[in-house]
Structure 1
């Protein structure tokens, strides 16, 4: 098999215009396998399980398109991500539009193909239902992991429209299937009106720590960051970020927007603040570019992915010093 050049870095805007892009995240190389990589970007363009606006199937494409704006140096962490990590874009999972269970099988298979090479998977969704397929693959490799969940919704419904599998149910199923350890998991940012007034208490009954937005504001972000670290500890962690965590003034392009959320900077600060957790996976979901203006939502999503990768690079840098 032809050997890939893992040292090749993305073209810079000084040598190649940003609009000369073949559709890869940050103009990284497109690989067919995760072998030899530290992290792999892949898309899950599925939105059949969304309950209001559809369009998140175009999220991976939208995030990749604007990710050409990202450069490889993170000045806050003082790290060049590709000096310490090898990464590539593996393309998209061939989902089955309209059929969630066959799609879950394909997500699990694709994610497993990354994990088997001891490579960290980074998925671009898709609606939030896709995370269940990722977690099935993650748990087969690592056992129950800690879930670090940024969202305006808890996604712990038992059913939506009488169905067990929907973007509002993945973490209820993940607990039932033993994919996550709820006692070492945390949900942050829930807000807005509810059908079930006891939803936050339901999270507690399932063993989850849930910090709704009004409590986040009372605590302050530094205290929330410390609570996340305390809850997860040294446990292996999967970070899932629903873009509707951010206020629609900053991220309008999402399926179920909720007002009263967070700024772009606050979202980035939170990811930076928990960069030292023991991560085994990450996804960002619910970006629906059709509702965007000036690509601001997709741009934020690309930056959040970059910040997550920067944290991985910082961990590697610290270990090497």
Structure 2
């Protein structure tokens, strides 16, 4: 077996030098095969408030320069355990949402057919739908763990079916999800009406609010998640606005009272051993960021996801 090609050696090339691939990893075209690939989707035409997430993949890669190859919290060296590579960006039409979704689906299909698990850095949350379509093609209905301040199960905005507030309703309607194992985490803030909650429950979603995490503790929250998910193929979708604006100011629809970055990382670490088949980190809007706070958080979240995949490799 060929040894994985790891990140650029920071003792030889300073972290601030060279091409900004994710965690300074090799590009996909520079390796024979990748077990996991970090794929960028610079698309934000589905947003309903502040745009700018199209610039997130580049900014997250830049913030990831400081990531190191050993994860002490999970006791794993993900880049030595398996081949991880940067798959570059999918070119999406910013003026045609259905066409952009088709491009995203085609791009992730290529990875899956090559036996590569994707960790996608968006982009707005609209991109979760084509990713889930491909997860379903590969694995059948998948469990979903959705970290977000918002439900993202609304029906439409301004008559549009495909926006960053609708992907999981569409996913349920298309039969992409195992509705006995789908959950939100981090939900908070005002809603349009109480019917939003009843609609969401009717689709099968369980809700853990940010206040639940505070009151119940990470351990209890993780235990409930693991019981609900079981050993099903699991897709994890993380809107960075699940974090409080103090930890993620650079996002399109911020809400007060969110998770800390420490709580999010702790919950993810509690999922070790889960059958994670793919993941995304979305809704970073660099124009609203300060000192790269949000991009740094997103880069660490993506690193956490890659490390969890490495444990099951």
Return the offset for 1:6: 6.2
The match for 1:315 is 312
1:171: which partner in 2? 168
> What is the rounded CA distance, in whole Å, between the counterparts of 2:148 and 2:287 in structure 1?
20
Q: Which residue of 1 aligns with 2:140?
A: 143
Say whether the 8 Å CA contact 1:33–1:114 is kept in structure 2: no
Cα distance in 2 between the residues matched to 1:200 and 1:214:
16
- How big is the shift at 1:109? 0.6
Q: Mapping of 1:284-295 within 5 angstroms?
A: 284-295=281-292
Instruction: Give the superposition deviation at 1:35.
Output: 5.8
Aligned partners of 2:39 and 2:18: how far apart in 1? 16
Per-residue CA distance 1:109-155 (angstroms, 9 max, x = gap): 10010001221111000000001011111111111101110000010
Counterpart of 1:304 (choices 298, 301, 312) is 301
> 2: CA distance between counterparts of 1:260 and 1:171?
23
Q: Please provide the CA RMSD for this pair.
A: 1.4
Q: What's the CA shift string for 1:4-50, capped at 9, x where partnerless?
A: x8632212321111111312101111123986211011100000000
Aligned to 2:238: 241
Partner of 1:187: 184
Q: Of the candidates 122, 141, 146, which is equivalent to residue 119 of structure 2?
A: 122
- Does structure 2 conserve the Cα–Cα contact (< 8 Å) formed by 1:34 and 1:114? no
Per-residue deviation, residues 46-101 of structure 1 (Å, max 9, x unmatched)? 00000000000011011001100100100112211122111100100110012110
Q: What residue is the counterpart of 1:73 in the other structure?
A: 70
Match of 1:32, SS?
helix
For residue 93 of structure 2, the aligned residue among 91, 96, 111 is 96
* Shift in Å, 1:208: 1.3
Asked if the contact 2:152–2:169 (Cα under 8 Å) also holds between the matched residues in 1, the reply is: yes
Question: Would the alpha carbon gap of residues 95 and 260 (structure 1) be closer, same or farther in structure 2, given more than 3 Å must change?
Answer: same
Question: Cα 1:6–1:159, aligned 2, differ >3 Å: closer, same or farther?
Answer: farther
TM-score (norm 1): 0.94
- 1:110 is paired with a residue of what secondary structure? helix
Q: Does 1:269 align with 2:266?
A: yes
The aligned length equals 312
In the alignment, structure 2 segments of 5+ residues that lack a partner are none
Q: Deviations over 1:130-181 (max 9, x none)?
A: 0101111111111110111000001000111221111000000000011111
Return closer, same or farther for 1:33/1:146 CA change in 2, 3 Å cut-off: farther
Q: Which residue of 1 aligns with 2:276?
A: 279
* SS of 1:146 mapped into structure 2: strand
Q: Equivalents in 2 of 1:8, 1:216: separation in Å? A: 38
Residue 11 of structure 2 corresponds to which residue in structure 1? 14
Unaligned runs of 5+ in 1: 317-321
Q: Structure 1: which 4+ aligned runs deviate by more than 6 Å?
A: none
- TM-score (norm. length: structure 2): 0.96
